[in-house]
Structure 1
Amino acid sequence: MSTTQQLFESAPHFNATNMRVEQLTNGYICQLQDQSLIQANGDDAASFLHNQLSNDVEHLNQTQARYAAYCTPKGRMLASFLYWKTDSDIILQCSSSLQPALQKRLQMFVMRSKVKLEDISEQFAILGLGGKAAEIFLLTQFTQLPSTINDKVSGSMGSVIRVQDAFDSPRYQWIISHEKLATVSTQLTADLLKIDASIWRLGNIHAGVPQVVEQSKEKFVPQMINFELIGGVNFRKGCYPGQEIVARSQYLGKLKRRMAIALVEAETVEVTMEIFSDNDPSQPCGMIVNAERNFDKRFACLIEIKLADQEQGKVHLGVSDGPVLEFIPLPYAYLDVTE
C-alpha cells in the first residue's frame, strides 16, 4: 500500500450524508481515485492532439488547463478531458472508467506521428482541495496560487490547477508524485478535513461541470451538456473527429437541448437514467449526466433535457409519474460562445 493510500484510508472520511456544507469552509482534501492520467510526449504530441480534440492544444501554454471533448465522427462524446502542459508533455485527465479504451483508440491514430501515449495514473496522486486552510497549505508548497479558473501553477511539488468554485469557496486540483506527497502527509492530516471524493463530484455538479463516464459515452454532442460554455470547444480551430456535427449544431438554428441542474428525492439515481416531462409523458425528454447525494439527502443531478421541458414540477425521474425534479440555477448563462 502506498503512502497516499495509507494517508486517505487511515483518516476519517466524510460524505454528504454525515456532514454539513458549512464544515467545508475551513478546508478539505480528497483523493480523486476515479480519475486517470494519460501523458502524451514527443515532437508531434501537441499537433496530434490538436487534430483529435475539440479544443486548441497547439497554443496551450504552461500556465493553463483546458477542457476538451473527444468525439466520434458523428459528434458524440467518447470522453471529456481536462488537459494541461507540463514541460514538453501534455497530460490528459479523464474518467478512470474510460482510460484504457481511450488510450487504445488514440494510439490507433498516431501512425507516423512522433507521439508516445502512456498511462501515468499510478505515478501521481490526484487531489481535490478547497477552503481557507487548503489555500494556506498550498501556499507553503507553491510560491503563488492560480487566481483564475483553469489557470495552473507548477513547481517542485507538482502542479495545482484552479477549478470552478463550489460551496462558496475556491477549489484546486493538485497533481503530485506519491513520493513528494509523503513528505507533507503529516501536515495534511493536521490541517485539512478528509472528505469522500463524492463531495468533490457534488461540487462539480453544483458548478455545472459534467464528466463523461463509461455509461454515458456516445450519448451527447458537446453542446447538449454545455461543454462549450465551460470552454471545452473551440469553434475557430481546425478539423477533428465530429467537428462538422458539432459546428452544425451550433450554427444552424437555436440549440434545443441543454444541461441543467436539478434536485430530486429518490432512493438512487444512475447515470443515463431517463427523465420524463408532463408535456409528453410517452417518451423521455432527457437523461441523467451525473448525480451525487446532496447535503439535504436528496440527489443533485446534471441532466440533459429539451429546453422546452425545463419546467418546475413537470419533470420526473425514471418514469412518467416518478419523483419530481426541482430545477436550480446554473452558475453560468446559456450563451452563444461563437458570437
Structure 2
Amino acid sequence: MSMTTETNTPSLEELPSTFLVSLDNYSAISLKGEEQTNYLQGQVTCDVNSSNDDNLLIGAHCNAKGKVFSVFRLINRNSAHLLIQPKASLGGSISELKKFGVFAKVDITAKDELSFFALVGEQATNILQKHFNQAPDSLTPVVQSNTTTLVYIAGKQARYLLIDESPMLENIISTLNQPIYHSTLWSLLEINEGFPQLSDVSSGEYIPQMINLQAINGISFTKGCYLGQETVARMQYLGKNKRALYSLKTQLTQPLESDDVIEKQLGENWRKAGDILATYQADNGHCYLQAVLSSELDDSTALRIKSQPESKIIIQALPYSLVTE
C-alpha cells in the first residue's frame, strides 16, 4: 500500500495540531527465552525485573567502561523484551548483547519485520480511542490490541507509538486520515523533549549521565550489578560529571553541515563547546540541535555555529530537571 508523506519540513510552531510520523529509521532488539529477563538485567541500566506487559522503561546499554552503546525504550511484546531504538545505534548494541548472550538461554534478534509509526498531537488520544478498544496512558503506557502494540510516551505533547508488522500497520495508518511526516520530524520531537539520540558515530562515547539518562528515569541505582555499573555509580555519587545534554535552537541562513561545530565565546575568542548529537533544520531556517556541552553553561553563555558565525544559539528549557534531589 502506498502512503503519501509530506514533503515540507515544518518548525515546531508550524506543526499541525495532529499528525503521524513514519519511523522507518527505527527498529527493535528482541530478547526471548527462559533467561531473557535475568540476562538483560545484567546488561542494561534500567531495572528489567520491573518490566511487565503494561509498562514502559527507558534505559541504556553500556560497555564495560560505562559508555553508552544505545538508548532505548523497553516494552514487552509477544512474551519478548523489545528494546526500541534508532537503527543507527542498533548494530553495535546487538553485537555486544549476542557476544555475552551465548552463555544464556535467550534468543537475541533484530525485529526487522516490525514497522513503527508515531501519532502526535491534540487529537491523538481521541483518534486512538475511536480506532482501538483501549488507548494507552500514563498509568498503562503499553496496550496490546490484537496484533498491534500501542505505546504512550509522556512529554510536552501527546505522543503514541504504533507497532505491528508492515501490512497490518499500513492498513491501520490509512484509516487514521492524518498527514504523515518523514522520520526526521521525530528527531525534532526528541530534541524538544530532551531524549538522547545516538548514532553510529556517537555510540560508545558518553556515560549515561552525560546524556541526562538519570533525569529521565533511565538509570536504576538500586538494581545491582550490570555492565558498566561501577562507572555509572561513581559518576553519580562522586559528582564528577561535567557534561550534560542540551536542547538548542538557532536561525540559520544556510543548511547545517554534517561536520559543523558549536562554539562558545571565551573573552574575544571562540572555542569548541561540545558535540552535536542530532539536528533538525526547518524550511523557515529554524534549526534545532541536541548537543552534549558543559553542564555549567547558562543563558548568558554565547554560542554559535562555527561555519555561520553570525548565528546565535539559544538554550531551550528541558521538560525535566538535572538537579539531583
Same fold flag (TM > 0.5): yes
Q: How many angstroms apart in 2 are the aligned matches of 1:79 and 1:255?
A: 19
Return closer, same or farther for 1:114/1:312 CA change in 2, 3 Å cut-off.
same
Return closer, same or farther for 1:264/1:132 CA change in 2, 3 Å cut-off.
closer
Return closer, same or farther for 1:229/1:261 CA change in 2, 3 Å cut-off.
same
Give the structure 1 partner of residue 298 of structure 2.
Answer: 310
- Superposed CA deviations along residues 256-298 of structure 1, whole A, max 9, x for unmatched, are 2212211123334467754222237574331112211247522
Matched, 1:207 2:193: yes
Cα offset for 1:181? 2.3
Matched, 1:172 2:164: no
Give the paired residue count.
323
| 1:108-123 superposed matches below 5 A | 108-121=99-112, 123=113
Which secondary structure does the structure 1 equivalent of 2:277 belong to?
strand
Which secondary structure does the structure 1 equivalent of 2:216 belong to?
coil
Matched, 1:291 2:282: no
The range that moved more, 202-211 or 295-304, is 295-304
Cα offset for 1:126? 0.2
Decide whether the 8 Å contact of 1:278 with 1:320 is kept in 2: no
- Superposed CA deviations along residues 222-258 of structure 1, whole A, max 9, x for unmatched, are 1111111111111111212211111111110364221
Give the structure 1 partner of residue 28 of structure 2.
Answer: 37
Which secondary structure does the structure 1 equivalent of 2:38 belong to?
helix
Return closer, same or farther for 1:197/1:47 CA change in 2, 3 Å cut-off.
same
Q: How many angstroms apart in 1 are the aligned matches of 2:52 and 2:184?
A: 31
Q: Which amino acid aligns with 1:261?
A: S
| 1:48-63 superposed matches below 5 A | 48-63=39-54
Give the structure 1 partner of residue 9 of structure 2.
Answer: 16
Which secondary structure does the structure 1 equivalent of 2:219 belong to?
coil
Give the structure 2 partner of residue 237 of structure 1.
Answer: 223
Give the structure 2 partner of residue 102 of structure 1.
Answer: 93
Give the structure 1 partner of residue 311 of structure 2.
Answer: 323
Cα offset for 1:307? 2.5
Q: Which amino acid aligns with 1:13?
A: E
Q: Which amino acid aligns with 1:93?
A: I
Give the structure 2 partner of residue 278 of structure 1.
Answer: 265
Of 232, 236, 242, the match for 1:246: 232
Superposition TM-score, scaled by structure 2 size:
0.90
- Superposed CA deviations along residues 59-115 of structure 1, whole A, max 9, x for unmatched, are 211111111111122211111111111242101112212323322221110132100
Q: How many angstroms apart in 1 are the aligned matches of 2:170 and 2:56?
A: 26
Cα offset for 1:135? 2.5
Return closer, same or farther for 1:246/1:294 CA change in 2, 3 Å cut-off.
farther
Return closer, same or farther for 1:325/1:112 CA change in 2, 3 Å cut-off.
same
Q: How many angstroms apart in 1 are the aligned matches of 2:290 and 2:272?
A: 16
Q: How many angstroms apart in 2 are the aligned matches of 1:256 and 1:274?
A: 19
- Superposed CA deviations along residues 112-151 of structure 1, whole A, max 9, x for unmatched, are 2100011112x22200111244323322343222221882
Cα offset for 1:201? 1.5
Cα offset for 1:157? 4.0
Cα offset for 1:179? 3.1
Cα offset for 1:197? 1.8
Decide whether the 8 Å contact of 2:21 with 2:183 is kept in 1: yes
Which secondary structure does the structure 2 equivalent of 1:309 belong to?
coil
Which secondary structure does the structure 2 equivalent of 1:179 belong to?
helix
Decide whether the 8 Å contact of 2:29 with 2:83 is kept in 1: yes
- Superposed CA deviations along residues 290-330 of structure 1, whole A, max 9, x for unmatched, are 21124752211122111223343512223795733111211
The range that moved more, 191-200 or 286-295, is 286-295
Give the structure 2 partner of residue 260 of structure 1.
Answer: 246
| 1:69-88 superposed matches below 5 A | 69-88=60-79
Q: How many angstroms apart in 2 are the aligned matches of 1:14 and 1:21?
A: 17
Q: How many angstroms apart in 2 are the aligned matches of 1:29 and 1:180?
A: 16
Identity of aligned residues (%): 23
Matched, 1:146 2:146: no
Q: How many angstroms apart in 2 are the aligned matches of 1:69 and 1:20?
A: 28
Of 126, 133, 142, the match for 2:116: 126
Which secondary structure does the structure 2 equivalent of 1:37 belong to?
strand
Which secondary structure does the structure 2 equivalent of 1:47 belong to?
helix
Question: Structure 1 stretches of 5 or more lacking a match?
Answer: none
Give the structure 1 partner of residue 203 of structure 2.
Answer: 217
